[in-house]
């Protein structure tokens, strides 16, 4: 007598338990968000206080600059019986106070003040005091009138430029404080309301969604299978479109812009020949012609990077022989290139896909690995072609590029080659990208 088959356990109990845990997690998360919002409100208040302190220091700087302006006005007053050196002590006092104000302003500078603005203030202040020291030295040597002329022509203009820069920073601070106050009140009030709405809506949505998932999961799995098949077709079309676009842009850069820059260089060369030897215009024409030539070389390099013509004319092996030294020169990364086996030709779309995989792998080395050396190994085997790019940098897990679109594109190209690609970590650390392509797929032109 056969035993009755044990009935399968219904997933309903597990789903209900998961639903309860999810609801509890949502409630806990919402409470946590409210707590964090209060902390963020306090942080925003601290930022506003920092901005106010920065404004006070800028007002202090502005006051010192106004004092300098008044002092220079008195120095230029012909009715003043004092020599220019009499103001040196006042300048020294203002300088000490101004330097201290600028140092404290940098400590409280808000994020909207760019590094260029702060650097400009420091540079302009140093230039002003250097010029002031030279003027006092000139006056000390008995050239009072010449020193006064430099004050009118140089010092006053520098002081005005500094005052304008400080005034702009003050305006930025005031605008930022007003905007921050209004936006903070609006954002936090709105978010706080939305958190409660979100909590109620989420609880309802989770309940309804869970009930729906119990009924719809079979349909979803069927759709996923269909989408998986469509994804491969879409990836092929996207890659083909990308290559077509890069090829078009490359040719336009090389043909259109290259011809224009070549013509400009020729015209500048003729103009230079018809310009007298002692004319300053001749040097300017030569400089412009050199700029045009460098630009032409850059455009040609960019055209080759987008779509190397060598792939169509000389094949993959020769293109890599050219490309790897170019990358080494551009990035400063030492690349060890090793070839082994008996070479066989790789042309057409197959060569393009392999080239793009090498290009993306080396781009990842340059941008993410923090390595200073890489190894590229090109192996021609009897039944396959292997290409490996290795570095001893920080590795995939630490640089966070595992989710990048570049790795996805590399996998898609490997599938188009009927090959396989592996991402591994060598014993020395870093990343190893190994591509294997069957020989018949590598030699065939699609």
Q: What is the DSSP secondary structure assignment for residue 345, as one 8-state letter?
A: -
Average pLDDT over residues 195-213: 72
Q: How many CB atoms lie within 10 A of CB 268?
A: 20
For position 373, what pLDDT does the model report? 93
Mean pLDDT of the chain: 77
For residue 384, give the nearest of 339, 441, 335 by alpha carbon: 441
Confidence category of residue 300, pLDDT binned at 50, 70, 90: low
Strand partners for 420: 436
175 vs 363, higher pLDDT: 363
For position 143, what pLDDT does the model report? 83
Q: Is the pLDDT of residue 45 over 50?
A: yes
Question: For 1-10, 17-26, 186-195, 414-423, which range has the lowest pLDDT when averaged over its residues?
Answer: 1-10
State pLDDT tens for residues 326-385.
888 888 999 999 999 888 888 888 888 898 899 889 988 988 888 899 999 999 998 899
Average pLDDT over residues 290-315: 73
Average pLDDT over residues 319-323: 86
Q: Confirm if 167 and 65 have CB atoms less than 8 A apart.
A: no
Beta strands in 304-430 (DSSP E): 334-341, 373-380, 384-391, 420-424
Q: How many CB atoms lie within 10 A of CB 328?
A: 16
Q: Confirm if 26 and 197 have CB atoms less than 8 A apart.
A: no
Which of 212-216, 243-247, 442-446 has the largest mean confidence? 243-247
* First vs last C-alpha separation in the chain: 63
Which of 109-113, 181-185, 373-377 has the largest mean confidence? 373-377
Query: How far apart are the C-alpha atoms of 294 and 396, rounded to whole Å?
Result: 37
Confidence category of residue 44, pLDDT binned at 50, 70, 90: low
For the chain, how long is the longest CA-to-CA vector? 129
For position 418, what pLDDT does the model report? 87
For position 379, what pLDDT does the model report? 93
Q: What is the DSSP secondary structure assignment for residue 87, as one 8-state letter?
A: G
Query: How far apart are the C-alpha atoms of 9 and 279, rounded to whole Å?
Result: 96
Write phi, then psi, for 9 (nearest 5 degrees). Answer: -75, 135
pTM recorded for the entire structure: 0.45
For position 374, what pLDDT does the model report? 93
Collapsing DSSP to helix, strand or coil, 106 comes out as helix
Q: Confirm if 54 and 173 have CB atoms less than 8 A apart.
A: yes
Question: For 118-127, 138-147, 221-230, which range has the lowest pLDDT when averaged over its residues?
Answer: 221-230
Q: Is the pLDDT of residue 114 over 70?
A: no
Q: Confirm if 439 and 382 have CB atoms less than 8 A apart.
A: yes
Average pLDDT over residues 189-202: 73
78 vs 264, higher pLDDT: 264
Q: Is the pLDDT of residue 185 over 80?
A: no
Q: List Cα–Cα distances, 376 to 297, 317, 333, 431, 434, in angstroms.
A: 27, 12, 12, 12, 10
For position 337, what pLDDT does the model report? 93
What does the block give as tokens for 61? 């700087």
Q: Which domains does the chain have, with CATH numbers?
A: 13-205 (1.20.120), 309-443 (3.30.565.10)
Q: Confirm if 414 and 357 have CB atoms less than 8 A apart.
A: yes
Question: For 243-247, 266-270, 405-409, which range has the lowest pLDDT when averaged over its residues?
Answer: 243-247
Query: How far apart are the C-alpha atoms of 386 and 445, rounded to whole Å?
Result: 18
Q: Is the pLDDT of residue 388 over 90?
A: yes
State pLDDT tens for residues 73-85.
888 876 767 788 8
For residue 128, give the nearest of 151, 104, 101, 103 by alpha carbon: 151
What is the dihedral sign for C-alpha 97, 99, 102, 104? negative
Helices (H), 253-315: 258-273, 280-306, 310-313
């Amino acid at each position: 007598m056969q035993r009755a088959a044990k009935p399968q356990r219904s997933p309903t109990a597990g789903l209900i338990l998961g639903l309860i845990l999810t609801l509890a997690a949502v409630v806990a998360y919402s409470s946590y968000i409210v707590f964090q919002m209060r902390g963020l409100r306090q942080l925003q208040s601290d930022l506003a206080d920092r901005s106010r302190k920065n404004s006070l220091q800028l007002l202090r700087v502005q006051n010192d600059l106004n004092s300098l302006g008044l002092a220079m006005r008195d120095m230029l007053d012909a009715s003043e019986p004092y020599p220019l050196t009499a103001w040196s002590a006042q300048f020294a006092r203002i300088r000490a106070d101004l330097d201290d104000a600028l140092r404290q302003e940098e400590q409280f500078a808000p994020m909207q003040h760019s590094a260029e603005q702060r650097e400009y203030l420091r540079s302009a202040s140093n230039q002003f005091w250097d010029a002031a020291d030279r003027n006092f030295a000139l006056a000390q040597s008995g050239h009072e009138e010449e020193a006064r002329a430099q004050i009118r022509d140089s010092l006053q203009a520098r002081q005005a430029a500094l005052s304008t820069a400080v005034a702009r920073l003050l305006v930025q601070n005031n605008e930022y404080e007003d905007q921050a106050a209004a936006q903070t009140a609006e954002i936090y009030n709105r978010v706080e309301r939305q958190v409660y709405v979100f909590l109620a809506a989420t609880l309802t949505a989770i309940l309804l969604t869970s009930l729906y998932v119990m009924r719809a999961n079979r349909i979803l799995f069927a759709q996923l299978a269909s989408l998986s098949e469509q994804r491969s077709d879409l990836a092929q079309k996207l890659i083909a479109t990308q290559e077509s676009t890069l090829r078009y842009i490359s040719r336009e850069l090389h043909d259109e812009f290259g011809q224009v820059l070549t013509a400009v260089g020729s015209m500048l060369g003729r103009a230079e020949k018809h310009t007298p030897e002692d004319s300053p215009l001749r040097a300017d024409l030569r400089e412009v012609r050199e700029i045009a030539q460098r630009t032409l070389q850059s455009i040609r390099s960019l055209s080759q990077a987008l779509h190397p013509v060598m792939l169509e004319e000389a094949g993959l092996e020769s293109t890599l022989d050219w490309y790897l030294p170019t990358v080494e020169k551009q990035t400063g990364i030492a690349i060890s290139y090793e070839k082994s086996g008996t070479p066989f030709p790789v042309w057409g779309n197959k060569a393009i896909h392999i080239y793009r995989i090498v290009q993306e792998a080396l781009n990842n080395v340059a941008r993410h690995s923090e390595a200073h050396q890489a190894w590229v190994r090109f192996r021609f085997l009897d039944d396959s072609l292997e290409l490996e790019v290795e570095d001893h940098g920080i590795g995939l897990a630490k640089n966070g590029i595992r989710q990048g679109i570049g790795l996805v594109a590399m996998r898609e190209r490997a599938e188009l080659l009927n090959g396989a690609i592996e991402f591994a970590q060598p014993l020395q650390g870093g990343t190893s990208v190994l591509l294997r392509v069957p020989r018949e797929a590598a030699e065939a032109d699609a």
